[in-house]
Amino acid sequence: MTWRHALILDPAASDDPRTEFGATFTAVDPAAPALSIGELSTQRGDGIFESIGVIDGHPQEVAAHLERLAHSAQLCDLPVPHIVQWRQAVTAVAAECPPGECVIKLILSRGIEHGPSPTAWVTAASAADNSAARRDGVRVVVLDRGFDSGAPARAPWLLLGAKTLSYATNMAALREARRRGADDAVFAASDGVLLEGPTSSLVLRRGDRFVTPAPGAGILHGTTQLSLFAHLESRGFETAYETLPVSALVEADAAWLVSSVRLAAGITEVDGAPLPYDPAFTAELNAYLLTPRD
């Protein structure tokens, strides 16, 4: 990964939407150390983030990502992010991105232990080459998430709908998938309800109807899934949020894992059994996802 740019944001910024926030950004060398060792983001994973895809300098779906950042902040009792300041920081780092695909990360941490304020920063880096997953799809295994579908309502302190920095278990699930000879995973609640991938949303096709697990089940509401559903609706397809059992995945006419940077990866195999895979339709979905989207 080649780092392109990094900005630290001063959290004490004005709320006035007309403010020009450039003076509240400090550019730092993205290859040099920049955070205090007292940072709660690194000590406890106590913070939130967003990953935004950038195509030829255009950051995709910025409003949806900023909305989710604010939602995650609320769930984590972090101060409400200054949306205009973050938007201007995204524009500033996107301007440094070369043609091709990059990824912008927004990070809001609780800050330094006993410190006065959160720490906020934005980075841009070149994106990994995801063409193989977009073209050839991914083999998945279904992994037990370890809680039932009632857990998010019963235990909101699990922060299940927030995009927190605590991704160690998501990464462990990906390693387990690879140990089992697959490329990726789909989480299911312990009562057999389909959830999401460790870094993606799940979309199933049933005839001309596209369905995805309802966000209330303790999953992230994916910006890519939202955008894809709007696109599918404009093409005359029906879309819906549903509570889906694991059997719905193996019986689907097609299925995808969708996310901001990898985009749509068709699922070719579930726990070693083949799933119908439509490379031409998947290519169309990715062509849409690669167009500039606001």
Pick between residue 149 and residue 259 the one whose CB is nearest to ligand PLP.
259
For residue 37, what are the contacts with CB-CB under 8 A and spacing of at least 6? none
Instruction: Give the number of other CB atoms < 10 A from CB of residue 237.
Output: 14
Kindly tell me which of 27 and 158 has the beta carbon lying closer to ligand PLP: 158
Q: Which is nearer to ligand PLP, 111 or 197 (CB)?
A: 197
Q: Interacting stretch for ligand PLP, rule CB under 6 A, among 94-102, 193-201, 242-250, 269-277?
A: 193-201
The nearest distance, CB 242 to ligand PLP, in angstroms, is 17
- The CB-of-200 to ligand PLP minimum distance in angstroms stands at 5
Strand partners, 273: 270
212 binds ligand PLP (CB under 6 A): no
Give the residue with the Cβ less far from ligand PLP, 112 or 125.
Answer: 125
Query: Does residue 199 interact with ligand PLP by CB under 6 A?
Result: yes
Q: Report the C-alpha gap between 284 and 228 in whole angstroms.
A: 11
| Contact pattern for ligand PLP over residues 145 through 184, marking x by CB under 6 A | ----------------------------------------
Site for ligand PLP in 233-272 (CB under 6 A): 258-260
- CB of 111 or CB of 161, closer to ligand PLP: 161
Q: Which of 206, 182, 228 is nearest to 64 (CA)?
A: 228
- Residue range at the interface with ligand PLP (CB under 6 A); choices 22-30, 130-138, 197-205, 206-214: 197-205
Phi-psi region of 159 (alpha: psi -120 to 50; beta: other; left: phi over 0): left
Out of 97, 142, 188, 220, which residue is the one contacting ligand PLP (CB under 6 A)? 220
Residue among 13 and 267 whose Cβ is closer to ligand PLP = 267
Whole-angstrom distance, CA of residue 129 vs CA of residue 208: 31
Shortest distance (Å) from residue 117 CB to ligand PLP: 26
Q: Of 45, 48, 46, 81, which is closest to residue 66 (Cα–Cα)?
A: 81
Is there binding between residue 72 and ligand PLP (CB under 6 A)? no
- Token code pair at residue 92: 């500033």
Query: What's the rounded Cα separation, in Å, for the pair 155 and 114?
Result: 27
Judged by CB under 6 A, the residue of 24, 60, 88, 201 near ligand PLP is 201
Does 51 engage in binding with ligand PLP (CB under 6 A)? yes
Q: Helix or strand or coil: residue 175?
A: helix
Distances (CA, A) of 157 to 46, 165, 171, 175: 13, 15, 21, 26
Under the criterion CB under 6 A, does residue 60 sit at the interface with ligand PLP? no
CA distances from 216 to 80, 122, 255, 277 (A): 22, 28, 21, 28
Cβ proximity to ligand PLP: between 25 and 152 the closer is 152
Sorted by sequence, the CB contacts under 8 Å of residue 196 that are 6+ apart come out as 186, 187, 202, 213, 219, 220, 222
Question: What is the contact surface with ligand PLP in residues (CB under 6 A)?
Answer: 51, 196, 198-201, 220, 222-225, 258-260
